[in-house]
Protein backbone atom coordinates (compact mmCIF):
# COMPACT_ATOMS: atom_id res chain seq x y z
CA UNK A 1 0.00 0.00 0.00
CA UNK A 2 1.28 3.46 -0.83
CA UNK A 3 2.09 5.89 1.99
CA UNK A 4 -0.82 8.18 1.15
CA UNK A 5 -3.23 5.31 1.79
CA UNK A 6 -1.97 5.11 5.33
CA UNK A 7 -2.68 8.82 5.79
CA UNK A 8 -6.38 8.18 5.52
CA UNK A 9 -6.64 4.92 7.35
CA UNK A 10 -4.41 5.75 10.27
CA UNK A 11 -7.05 8.38 11.10
CA UNK A 12 -4.49 11.15 11.12
CA UNK A 13 -7.26 13.55 10.31
CA UNK A 14 -5.01 16.63 10.40
CA UNK A 15 -2.89 15.26 7.57
CA UNK A 16 -6.03 14.45 5.63
CA UNK A 17 -7.48 17.84 6.48
CA UNK A 18 -4.44 19.64 5.10
CA UNK A 19 -5.24 18.10 1.70
CA UNK A 20 -8.67 19.73 1.55
CA UNK A 21 -8.28 22.90 3.63
CA UNK A 22 -8.10 26.33 2.02
CA UNK A 23 -5.60 28.22 4.16
CA UNK A 24 -6.80 31.63 5.31
CA UNK A 25 -5.62 34.25 2.86
CA UNK A 26 -4.37 31.68 0.34
CA UNK A 27 -5.68 31.20 -3.18
CA UNK A 28 -7.97 28.19 -3.41
CA UNK A 29 -6.96 27.30 -6.99
CA UNK A 30 -10.31 25.55 -7.34
CA UNK A 31 -9.89 24.69 -11.01
CA UNK A 32 -6.70 22.80 -10.18
CA UNK A 33 -8.30 20.73 -7.44
CA UNK A 34 -9.14 17.21 -8.52
CA UNK A 35 -12.79 16.27 -7.78
CA UNK A 36 -11.76 12.59 -7.65
CA UNK A 37 -8.57 12.44 -5.50
CA UNK A 38 -8.18 8.70 -5.86
CA UNK A 39 -4.99 8.97 -3.84
CA UNK A 40 -6.83 9.92 -0.66
CA UNK A 41 -9.12 6.92 -0.27
CA UNK A 42 -8.39 4.32 -2.93
CA UNK A 43 -10.44 1.55 -1.39
CA UNK A 44 -14.22 1.88 -1.24
CA UNK A 45 -14.78 -0.77 1.44
CA UNK A 46 -12.19 0.73 3.75
CA UNK A 47 -13.62 4.21 3.22
CA UNK A 48 -17.09 2.91 4.08
CA UNK A 49 -15.77 1.20 7.20
CA UNK A 50 -14.08 4.42 8.26
CA UNK A 51 -17.28 6.36 7.63
CA UNK A 52 -19.22 4.00 9.90
CA UNK A 53 -16.61 4.37 12.66
CA UNK A 54 -16.60 8.16 12.35
CA UNK A 55 -20.40 8.39 12.27
CA UNK A 56 -20.57 6.48 15.56
CA UNK A 57 -17.86 8.70 17.05
CA UNK A 58 -19.72 11.84 15.92
CA UNK A 59 -22.84 10.57 17.68
CA UNK A 60 -20.93 9.97 20.92
CA UNK A 61 -19.32 13.42 20.74
CA UNK A 62 -22.67 15.00 19.96
CA UNK A 63 -24.05 13.40 23.12
CA UNK A 64 -21.32 15.11 25.14
CA UNK A 65 -21.89 18.42 23.33
CA UNK A 66 -25.59 18.22 24.17
CA UNK A 67 -24.92 17.40 27.82
CA UNK A 68 -22.33 20.17 28.14
CA UNK A 69 -24.75 22.86 26.83
CA UNK A 70 -21.97 25.39 26.35
CA UNK A 71 -21.03 25.36 22.67
CA UNK A 72 -22.36 24.31 19.30
CA UNK A 73 -21.22 23.21 15.86
CA UNK A 74 -22.36 24.64 12.54
CA UNK A 75 -21.65 22.57 9.44
CA UNK A 76 -22.13 24.44 6.16
CA UNK A 77 -22.56 22.43 2.96
CA UNK A 78 -22.26 24.19 -0.37
CA UNK A 79 -21.99 22.82 -3.87
CA UNK A 80 -23.72 22.99 -7.20
CA UNK A 81 -26.81 20.90 -8.00
CA UNK A 82 -26.20 17.15 -7.58
CA UNK A 83 -22.94 17.72 -5.69
CA UNK A 84 -24.27 15.58 -2.84
CA UNK A 85 -25.38 17.90 -0.06
CA UNK A 86 -28.40 15.77 0.88
CA UNK A 87 -26.37 12.58 0.60
CA UNK A 88 -23.73 14.00 2.93
CA UNK A 89 -26.32 14.77 5.60
CA UNK A 90 -27.70 11.27 5.30
CA UNK A 91 -24.33 9.54 5.17
CA UNK A 92 -22.35 11.41 7.82
CA UNK A 93 -24.96 12.24 10.45
CA UNK A 94 -27.27 9.24 10.21
CA UNK A 95 -25.96 7.74 13.44
CA UNK A 96 -26.74 10.90 15.42
CA UNK A 97 -29.78 11.17 17.61
CA UNK A 98 -32.26 13.41 15.78
CA UNK A 99 -32.75 15.58 18.88
CA UNK A 100 -29.21 16.86 18.69
CA UNK A 101 -29.00 17.76 15.00
CA UNK A 102 -30.94 20.40 13.08
CA UNK A 103 -30.81 20.53 9.30
CA UNK A 104 -31.89 23.64 7.42
CA UNK A 105 -32.13 23.78 3.64
CA UNK A 106 -31.95 27.28 2.22
CA UNK A 107 -33.94 27.73 -0.96
CA UNK A 108 -35.05 30.89 -2.69
CA UNK A 109 -35.91 33.45 -0.02
CA UNK A 110 -39.63 33.91 0.60
CA UNK A 111 -41.47 37.21 0.70
CA UNK A 112 -40.80 37.83 4.37
CA UNK A 113 -37.14 36.86 4.11
CA UNK A 114 -36.69 39.26 1.22
CA UNK A 115 -37.94 42.07 3.44
CA UNK A 116 -35.00 41.49 5.77
CA UNK A 117 -31.26 41.59 5.27
CA UNK A 118 -29.92 38.37 3.74
CA UNK A 119 -28.38 37.14 7.00
CA UNK A 120 -31.62 37.38 8.96
CA UNK A 121 -32.96 33.94 8.09
CA UNK A 122 -29.52 32.43 8.46
CA UNK A 123 -28.89 33.74 11.95
CA UNK A 124 -32.16 32.23 13.14
CA UNK A 125 -31.06 28.79 12.00
CA UNK A 126 -27.69 28.87 13.77
CA UNK A 127 -27.33 26.20 16.46
CA UNK A 128 -28.15 26.89 20.05
CA UNK A 129 -25.76 25.59 22.69
CA UNK A 130 -25.50 21.83 22.65
CA UNK A 131 -26.62 21.31 19.06
CA UNK A 132 -25.14 20.56 15.69
CA UNK A 133 -26.76 22.56 12.90
CA UNK A 134 -26.27 21.62 9.28
CA UNK A 135 -26.89 24.13 6.51
CA UNK A 136 -27.81 22.63 3.15
CA UNK A 137 -26.90 25.76 1.17
CA UNK A 138 -26.45 28.88 3.23
CA UNK A 139 -25.76 32.62 3.21
CA UNK A 140 -23.13 31.83 0.58
CA UNK A 141 -25.96 31.59 -1.96
CA UNK A 142 -26.11 35.36 -1.57
CA UNK A 143 -22.69 35.66 -3.19
CA UNK A 144 -23.12 32.65 -5.51
CA UNK A 145 -26.46 32.31 -7.31
CA UNK A 146 -27.27 35.91 -6.49
CA UNK A 147 -24.02 37.03 -8.10
CA UNK A 148 -24.17 34.73 -11.11
CA UNK A 149 -27.77 35.70 -11.90
CA UNK A 150 -27.43 39.35 -10.94
CA UNK A 151 -30.20 39.18 -8.33
CA UNK A 152 -28.73 42.06 -6.31
CA UNK A 153 -26.66 45.12 -7.23
CA UNK A 154 -23.00 44.29 -7.81
CA UNK A 155 -21.84 46.82 -5.22
CA UNK A 156 -24.07 45.25 -2.56
CA UNK A 157 -22.78 41.78 -3.37
CA UNK A 158 -19.20 43.01 -3.20
CA UNK A 159 -19.74 44.20 0.37
CA UNK A 160 -21.12 40.82 1.44
CA UNK A 161 -17.81 38.96 1.60
CA UNK A 162 -16.61 41.15 4.46
CA UNK A 163 -20.06 41.06 6.06
CA UNK A 164 -20.08 37.25 5.95
CA UNK A 165 -16.61 37.05 7.45
CA UNK A 166 -17.66 39.42 10.24
CA UNK A 167 -20.90 37.47 10.84
CA UNK A 168 -19.06 34.18 11.08
CA UNK A 169 -16.44 35.75 13.34
CA UNK A 170 -19.23 36.97 15.60
CA UNK A 171 -20.65 33.45 15.79
CA UNK A 172 -17.32 31.82 16.57
CA UNK A 173 -16.65 34.36 19.30
CA UNK A 174 -19.98 33.35 20.79
CA UNK A 175 -19.47 29.63 21.08
CA UNK A 176 -20.26 28.38 17.57
CA UNK A 177 -17.56 26.35 15.81
CA UNK A 178 -18.01 26.61 12.04
CA UNK A 179 -16.94 23.98 9.50
CA UNK A 180 -17.53 24.75 5.82
CA UNK A 181 -17.45 22.13 3.08
CA UNK A 182 -17.56 22.87 -0.63
CA UNK A 183 -18.55 19.68 -2.43
CA UNK A 184 -16.42 19.72 -5.56
CA UNK A 185 -17.68 17.66 -8.51
CA UNK A 186 -16.70 17.65 -12.17
CA UNK A 187 -19.02 18.80 -14.94
CA UNK A 188 -19.03 15.30 -16.35
CA UNK A 189 -20.08 13.80 -13.02
CA UNK A 190 -22.93 16.30 -12.83
CA UNK A 191 -24.08 15.21 -16.29
CA UNK A 192 -24.19 11.58 -15.13
CA UNK A 193 -26.10 12.43 -11.97
CA UNK A 194 -28.65 14.58 -13.81
CA UNK A 195 -29.11 11.82 -16.37
CA UNK A 196 -29.80 9.34 -13.55
CA UNK A 197 -32.55 11.63 -12.32
CA UNK A 198 -34.17 11.37 -15.75
CA UNK A 199 -33.61 7.62 -16.12
CA UNK A 200 -34.81 6.50 -12.68
CA UNK A 201 -38.52 7.12 -11.96
CA UNK A 202 -37.75 7.16 -8.23
CA UNK A 203 -35.47 10.13 -8.87
CA UNK A 204 -37.77 12.12 -11.15
CA UNK A 205 -38.90 14.28 -8.26
CA UNK A 206 -35.32 15.42 -7.84
CA UNK A 207 -35.06 16.66 -11.40
CA UNK A 208 -35.62 20.36 -11.83
CA UNK A 209 -35.38 21.79 -15.37
CA UNK A 210 -33.89 24.90 -13.75
CA UNK A 211 -30.84 22.80 -12.90
CA UNK A 212 -30.02 22.74 -16.62
CA UNK A 213 -30.07 26.52 -16.74
CA UNK A 214 -27.58 26.57 -13.86
CA UNK A 215 -25.49 23.92 -15.61
CA UNK A 216 -25.24 26.20 -18.63
CA UNK A 217 -23.71 28.76 -16.27
CA UNK A 218 -21.13 26.26 -14.99
CA UNK A 219 -18.10 28.52 -15.56
CA UNK A 220 -19.77 31.48 -13.88
CA UNK A 221 -20.65 29.39 -10.83
CA UNK A 222 -17.11 28.01 -10.72
CA UNK A 223 -15.71 31.55 -10.75
CA UNK A 224 -18.15 32.65 -8.04
CA UNK A 225 -17.16 29.65 -5.88
CA UNK A 226 -13.50 30.41 -6.37
CA UNK A 227 -14.05 33.98 -5.16
CA UNK A 228 -15.89 32.69 -2.08
CA UNK A 229 -13.09 30.28 -1.25
CA UNK A 230 -10.41 32.92 -1.79
CA UNK A 231 -12.13 35.61 0.25
CA UNK A 232 -14.08 33.77 2.94
CA UNK A 233 -11.68 31.10 4.13
CA UNK A 234 -10.64 32.60 7.43
CA UNK A 235 -8.77 31.50 10.55
CA UNK A 236 -12.05 31.34 12.45
CA UNK A 237 -14.11 29.65 9.72
CA UNK A 238 -12.00 27.96 7.04
CA UNK A 239 -13.32 26.33 3.89
CA UNK A 240 -12.58 22.77 2.90
CA UNK A 241 -12.88 21.68 -0.72
CA UNK A 242 -14.05 18.07 -0.73
CA UNK A 243 -13.42 15.83 -3.74
CA UNK A 244 -17.00 14.70 -4.29
CA UNK A 245 -17.09 12.75 -7.56
CA UNK A 246 -17.25 9.57 -5.46
CA UNK A 247 -19.90 9.66 -2.78
CA UNK A 248 -18.18 7.19 -0.44
CA UNK A 249 -14.91 9.13 -0.59
CA UNK A 250 -16.73 12.42 0.02
CA UNK A 251 -18.52 11.00 3.06
CA UNK A 252 -15.40 9.41 4.53
CA UNK A 253 -13.43 12.66 4.29
CA UNK A 254 -16.20 14.85 5.68
CA UNK A 255 -16.92 12.44 8.53
CA UNK A 256 -13.22 12.33 9.41
CA UNK A 257 -13.00 16.12 9.52
CA UNK A 258 -16.23 16.58 11.52
CA UNK A 259 -15.08 13.95 13.98
CA UNK A 260 -11.66 15.60 14.26
CA UNK A 261 -13.14 19.04 14.84
CA UNK A 262 -15.50 17.69 17.52
CA UNK A 263 -12.65 15.84 19.20
CA UNK A 264 -10.68 19.08 19.29
CA UNK A 265 -13.67 20.85 20.83
CA UNK A 266 -13.61 18.05 23.42
CA UNK A 267 -17.06 18.60 24.95
CA UNK A 268 -17.38 17.39 28.52
CA UNK A 269 -20.21 15.86 30.49
CA UNK A 270 -21.08 18.35 33.25
CA UNK A 271 -19.94 17.68 36.81
CA UNK A 272 -22.89 16.88 39.07
CA UNK A 273 -23.42 18.27 42.54
CA UNK A 274 -24.41 14.79 43.79
CA UNK A 275 -22.85 11.35 43.86
CA UNK A 276 -24.62 8.21 42.57
CA UNK A 277 -24.05 6.50 45.92
CA UNK A 278 -26.15 9.21 47.61
CA UNK A 279 -29.23 7.59 46.12
CA UNK A 280 -30.95 4.27 46.50
CA UNK A 281 -33.66 3.45 44.00
CA UNK A 282 -36.29 1.12 45.51
P1 LIG B 1 -31.60 21.85 -3.83
O2 LIG B 1 -31.29 22.20 -5.25
O3 LIG B 1 -30.58 22.39 -2.87
O4 LIG B 1 -31.89 20.40 -3.63
P5 LIG B 1 -34.02 23.33 -4.22
O6 LIG B 1 -34.38 22.54 -5.43
O7 LIG B 1 -35.07 23.77 -3.25
O8 LIG B 1 -32.94 22.56 -3.37
O9 LIG B 1 -33.20 24.57 -4.75
C10 LIG B 1 -32.89 25.62 -3.97
C11 LIG B 1 -32.65 26.78 -4.90
O12 LIG B 1 -32.71 27.97 -4.15
C13 LIG B 1 -31.29 26.71 -5.56
O14 LIG B 1 -31.43 26.89 -6.95
C15 LIG B 1 -30.57 27.90 -4.95
O16 LIG B 1 -29.66 28.49 -5.84
C17 LIG B 1 -31.72 28.82 -4.61
N18 LIG B 1 -31.35 29.76 -3.55
C19 LIG B 1 -30.89 29.49 -2.33
N20 LIG B 1 -30.63 30.64 -1.65
C21 LIG B 1 -30.94 31.65 -2.48
C22 LIG B 1 -30.88 33.05 -2.37
N23 LIG B 1 -30.45 33.65 -1.26
N24 LIG B 1 -31.30 33.79 -3.42
C25 LIG B 1 -31.74 33.19 -4.55
N26 LIG B 1 -31.80 31.87 -4.72
C27 LIG B 1 -31.42 31.10 -3.70
Residue of 129, 130, 132, 135 lying closest to 121 (CA atoms): 135
Q: What average pLDDT does the segment 218-226 reach?
A: 98
Per residue in 156-170, pLDDT tens?
999 999 999 999 999
User: For ligand 1, atom 12, which residue shows the shortest CA distance?
Assistant: 107
User: For ligand 1, atom 5, which residue shows the shortest CA distance?
Assistant: 107
Asked whether residue 251 carries a pLDDT value surpassing 60, the answer given is yes
Question: Residue 10: its pLDDT value, please?
Answer: 55
72 pLDDT band (50/70/90 cuts)? very high
Helix (H) or strand (E) holding 72: strand 72-78
Name the least confident of 5-14, 204-213, 220-229, 242-251. Answer: 5-14
Question: Residue 93: its pLDDT value, please?
Answer: 97
3-class SS of residue 243? strand
How far away, in angstroms, is 232 Cα from ligand 1 center?
A: 20
Question: Residue 121: its pLDDT value, please?
Answer: 98
Best residue for ligand 1 mutational test, from 76, 83, 108, 164 (most atoms within 8 Å of Cβ): 108
Closest ligand 1 atom, CA of 208? 6
Per residue in 141-157, pLDDT tens?
999 999 999 999 999 99
Q: What average pLDDT does the segment 58-73 reach?
A: 98
How far away, in angstroms, is 81 Cα from ligand 1 center?
A: 9
Asked whether residue 173 carries a pLDDT value surpassing 80, the answer given is yes
| DSSP-assigned letters across all residues of 168-182 | HHHHHTTTEEEEEEE
7 pLDDT band (50/70/90 cuts)? very low
Per residue in 98-119, pLDDT tens?
999 999 999 999 999 999 999 9
How far away, in angstroms, is 44 Cα from ligand 1 center?
A: 31
Question: Residue 2: its pLDDT value, please?
Answer: 40
How far away, in angstroms, is 146 Cα from ligand 1 center?
A: 10
- Ligand 1 pocket (Cβ < 6 Å) reads 81, 106-109, 137, 141-142, 145-146, 151, 208
User: For ligand 1, atom 11, which residue shows the shortest CA distance?
Assistant: 107
Per residue in 113-139, pLDDT tens?
999 999 999 999 999 999 999 999 999
Question: Residue 9: its pLDDT value, please?
Answer: 55
Per residue in 190-205, pLDDT tens?
999 999 999 999 999 9
Question: What CATH number labels 30-264?
Answer: 3.40.50.300
Q: Are 120 and 113 in contact (CB under 8 A)?
A: yes
Domain layout of the chain by residue ranges? 30-264
Asked whether residue 5 carries a pLDDT value surpassing 60, the answer given is no
Name the least confident of 40-44, 179-183, 261-265, 269-273. Answer: 40-44
Question: Residue 3: its pLDDT value, please?
Answer: 42
How far away, in angstroms, is 96 Cα from ligand 1 center?
A: 26
Question: Residue 41: its pLDDT value, please?
Answer: 86
Mean pLDDT value across the chain: 95
Q: What is d(CA 164, CA 122) in angstroms, rounded to the nearest whole number?
A: 11
Q: Are 182 and 225 in contact (CB under 8 A)?
A: yes
How far away, in angstroms, is 200 Cα from ligand 1 center?
A: 23
User: For ligand 1, atom 21, which residue shows the shortest CA distance?
Assistant: 108
Asked whether residue 68 carries a pLDDT value surpassing 90, the answer given is yes
Question: Residue 209: its pLDDT value, please?
Answer: 93
Question: Residue 6: its pLDDT value, please?
Answer: 45
Other residues' Cβ atoms within 10 Å of the Cβ of residue 15: 13
How far away, in angstroms, is 110 Cα from ligand 1 center?
A: 11
Q: What percent of the chain has pLDDT over 90?
A: 94
Residue of 164, 73, 179 lying closest to 119 (CA atoms): 164
User: For ligand 1, atom 22, which residue shows the shortest CA distance?
Assistant: 108
Amino acid sequence: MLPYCRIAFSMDWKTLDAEVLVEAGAKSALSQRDPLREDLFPDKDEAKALLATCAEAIDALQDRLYAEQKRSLLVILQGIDTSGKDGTVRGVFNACGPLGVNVTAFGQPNELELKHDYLWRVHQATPRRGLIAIFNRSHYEDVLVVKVKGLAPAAAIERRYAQINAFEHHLTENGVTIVKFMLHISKDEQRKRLQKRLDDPAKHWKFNPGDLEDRALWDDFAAAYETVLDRCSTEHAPWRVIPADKKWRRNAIIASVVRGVLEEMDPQYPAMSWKPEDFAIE
